[in-house]
Amino acid sequence: MVDTLIGREWHLRTLRTALDRLQAGSGAAVALPGEPGIGKSALLWIAADTARAAGIAVVAARGGDLIQSPDTPAACAHVVEMVCAHAAAGRPVLVTVDDLHLLGTDEAGLIGRLLRCTASGPVLCVLAYRRRQLAPGPAAALADASAGLLRLAPLEPLTREQSSGLLGERSDADEIHREAAGNPQYIKVLSALRDTGATAEAGASIFGELTGLDAEALAAVRAAAVLGEPFPVTLVADVAELDEAAAVRALDRLTHADLIRPAERGPHLALRHRAVGEAVYERLEPSLRFALHRRAANALAKDGAPVAQRARHVTKAADPQNPEHLTTLIAAARGVVYSSPATAAEYLQAALPLLREGQDHAHEAQVLLARARLLSGEFSEGRALLDALRSTGSDQPGGAALDSSRIERRLGRHFEAGALARSGLAALAEADSATAAALHAELADAAYDMQDYEKSRVHAETGAAIAERCGDRVGEAHALAQSALGHLFTGDEATALARAARAAELIDAAADTTLLTNLAAPLQLGMTEGLLGRLSDSERHLARAEALGRRTGQTYLEGPLLTVLANSQCRLGKLRQGLVTLDRVARRHAELGEHGVNASEEAVAANLRASTLYWRDAPGDAERAVVEVDRGLAVAGDSSTTWAMAVRCFHAEFVLFTGDPLRARSLLLEAVGEDLSGISAWRRPRWCDTLAEAALAVGDSEDAEHWAAIAASAPERPPSLRAFALRARMWAHAALGEHEEALERAREAAREFTARGERIEVCRTLLAAAEFALRSGQAHLVAGWLDRVGLLAEQCGSGRLTAEVARYRSRLVALAEAQSDSLYRAVPLTTREREIANLVSTGMTNTAIAERLFLSVRTVESHLRQIYRKLDVPNRAALTRALLDARRASRPLTP
């Protein structure tokens, strides 16, 4: 039997086993109950095809064909007769009955007779049906049979993992699976809708369920498809142009056919799934679709329905002669512009042809449409709309300046963005408004881009104060997060932390609907928290904003949100999560195409992926990391922007990691200048750390000291970079042979990195400390550090760090063996006992020792008891102390 059905492997095995037994002469009965579209008919087809290929006779029946027969009882009897004829001749026969639920109570005898055939001869009976639609008679017959003759094999919805076979690696797979409730047919319909706007073959299959409906039922199901949401009987009657009694009859028939089901709320009804409505709607003639929407709009208006409910129908059938249609569309767009900007744009596009020159709503409609385009990531379209307003002089003072500034910023035109914000602020009649606060925030961004942190801070503080007075809590949080950076880079770390904490409090208290009005606020806060070393908070705020943007279609900040989120995850050592986020970045770039991708986002994402792959170090990761580094460099080109500088600096660090310190130093200084003038003063500790490490690697102590001194003296140093300054000093001490001082700086740097959650950097620092300890004859310090690095490496999913821990443990074991000879000469141990004693002294557990030496844990424990007895020690702690004492008494061995 061919396994062609995703998620139905157990059912296929069950049918395969039943067919094998049938060929051996044993009969059986299998029931396949399940929802519409779940895969019942496909299983029957595969079973029948497999049986025919094996030379087994097949009798296939369908409930729809049987009940449409002029004499249904006779048709059912004929099926039984054919089966009995094969069985009587000793020929194995498979009988399948699809859509058994369509049979009425009078045909229940068919089930009993078929099941009796399976008990008396080589007959395999497979029945497929929908439980919800079973008539009482067939339901009772199946219930009785399931106690003995019948094996139930219900088809459940696909799990998310199973649905991957249908959905592939698409970014909206989770949403489609959730909306389809794991139903394969609905998954296909919803996927096709998103990809092509049509329901494709899966929709045609659903539409086939309308076959045989009378005119009233057909009119009602079409009306339900146009309404697209739960409805009362009276509404579907108005839209279908049926009287209430006829509508009730039609809905009863549709309920019996399982096309209509009771809705969750009140006395309303609904199509059984949105996929059904889409399949029906798609096949409506344009004129009928228009008429139905017009009726729906009129009926809802008559009932006083909310504008949001009416707008969908007005959009499809707007009447230029009805002024209420225009106000409905604009009011509805105003209400959903943040929760669904694409829907708002659809309403406004329908409203534009209804506008007349000089009409009151004209300006608002165009500004709203530009905002919807901005929020949907359609920057060029939004910009064109706002430019048109300004060119005609119809822009109201300050009205569109805010959105214009935001669009210019997203398009990378920072000077233009600042100029627009300044002109908008100057034109505002009311200087103490939410718009004024937002324009100050734009100006704070403009000043920050120019590295004028004092000016940025002033604008941010002004904006925060205005937003607070206006009750705009999210706008206040946005400005406070900007203010925190201004304070940070002007040397006031305490105020920066306080401002960021207040911004976080406001964001955390904001409802999702409120936060949606300004997703730039949690983005700004996440960036600020990252620079302040609050990485977990940064990840939390960025993840919330990204989820809200994805859910509502606000994609205008998707690029920076995903990129900054991936940066926080990678710095936290969450390598798997970071790669998942970066995969989403890559899919977004593929969707936008070559000319729609922001260069800085693309290059930074390439750097982050390279770093993550390097530390994960799975097979093939090293090669892929090199490709990503090269891609980032190619995107940066010869740009002199801050982000391009950072890309080149990262390239230099990557070269250092891969073993070429001289080239790394050359590349880094070429990128930033011999005096580091190419990078901001506050960023210098980060790259001084890299230069000092490279100097140590080539044995240049003077150079290492030089970079450590610069790192320590850097002004306006953010707390997140303090650890790098300490580690730069660590490399310098090590280069001078001052290992005690190097170890002290390593401990301090590790504490700083730990406080900020930067697990990869903690591991790097502790591994360097382990090296210095071994070189200075302090091997007793190393085991604890390796335990910690090993645990962190496991949490991060870093194969590279795990391999480094193993390498250092091997060196510890070799050192232990070399330095413990005096003790072993005094108290002879066997070779295996010495091996185990040395491993115990490195901090390894009995289980780890057993795995390493290919022994059982019990054997290791037995050897330990002998070691304790011979050395006269009570436990592993005492054993470790004894070995350490022996090593201290011997001459330190420099590895």
CB atoms within 10 A of CB 356: 11
Question: Which pLDDT belongs to residue 236?
Answer: 96
Q: For the packed helices 215-227 and 233-240, what is the interaxial angle rounded to 10 degrees? A: 110
151 - beta bridge partners? 30
- Homologous superfamily (CATH) of 9-152 is P-loop containing nucleotide triphosphate hydrolases (3.40.50.300)
CATH class of domain segment(s) 541-549+557-637 = mainly alpha
Question: Which pLDDT belongs to residue 307?
Answer: 93
Strand 260-262, strand 269-271: pairing: antiparallel
Cα dihedral 84, 89, 91, 96 in deg (nearest 10) = -10
Contact assessment for residue 519 and residue 527, using Cβ atoms and an 8 Å cutoff:
no
Residues in the chain with pLDDT values less than 50: 1-3, 891-895
CA–CA–CA angle 626, 628, 630 (5° rounding): 70
CATH class of domain segment(s) 160-307 = mainly alpha
Cα dihedral 137, 138, 143, 147 in deg (nearest 10) = 120
Task: Give the span between the Cα atoms of 143 and 502, in whole angstroms.
Answer: 63
CATH number assigned to the domain with residue range 772-895, chosen from the 4 options 1.20.1740.10, 1.10.10.10, 1.10.1060.10, 3.10.450.50: 1.10.10.10
Predicted confidence (pLDDT) per residue in 506-565, tens digit: 999 999 999 999 999 999 999 999 989 899 999 999 999 999 999 999 999 999 999 999
Contact assessment for residue 82 and residue 123, using Cβ atoms and an 8 Å cutoff:
no
* Ordered DSSP codes for 82-95: HHHHHHHTT--EEE
Task: Give the span between the Cα atoms of 497 and 500, in whole angstroms.
Answer: 5
Under DSSP, the state recorded for 154 is: P
Task: Give the span between the Cα atoms of 145 and 166, in whole angstroms.
Answer: 35
Residues of the chain with CATH 3.40.50.300: 9-152
Per the structure block, which two tokens stand in for 502?
């207040």
Of 305, 284, 287, nearest to 296 by C-alpha is 305
User: What residues have CB less than 8 Å from 288, skipping those under 6 apart?
Assistant: 222
Task: Give the span between the Cα atoms of 81 and 832, in whole angstroms.
Answer: 79
96 - beta bridge partners? 60, 126
Of 474, 484, 409, nearest to 453 by C-alpha is 484
> Burial, 170: exposed, middle or buried (Cβ in 10 Å; 0-12, 13-18, 19+)?
middle
Of 230, 284, 287, 291, nearest to 262 by C-alpha is 230
Residue type for 780, please?
A: H
Element (H, E) at 644: helix 642-657
Residues of the chain with CATH 1.25.40: 541-549+557-637
User: What residues have CB less than 8 Å from 540, skipping those under 6 apart?
Assistant: none
SS (H, E, C) 795-835: HHCCHHHHHHHHHHHHHHHHHHHHHCHHHHHHCCCCHHHHH
Contact assessment for residue 632 and residue 603, using Cβ atoms and an 8 Å cutoff:
yes
Question: Which pLDDT belongs to residue 432?
Answer: 80
Looking at the whole model, is its pTM more than 0.75? Answer: yes
* b/e map 768-797, b = 16+ CB within 10 Å: bbbbbbbbbbbbbebbebbbbbbebbeebb
Of 317, 338, 339, nearest to 329 by C-alpha is 317
125 - beta bridge partners? 29, 95
Task: Give the span between the Cα atoms of 789 and 750, in whole angstroms.
Answer: 11
Contact assessment for residue 839 and residue 852, using Cβ atoms and an 8 Å cutoff:
yes
Question: Which pLDDT belongs to residue 392?
Answer: 66
Predicted confidence (pLDDT) per residue in 133-188, tens digit: 988 888 888 887 766 778 999 999 999 999 998 988 887 899 999 999 999 999 99
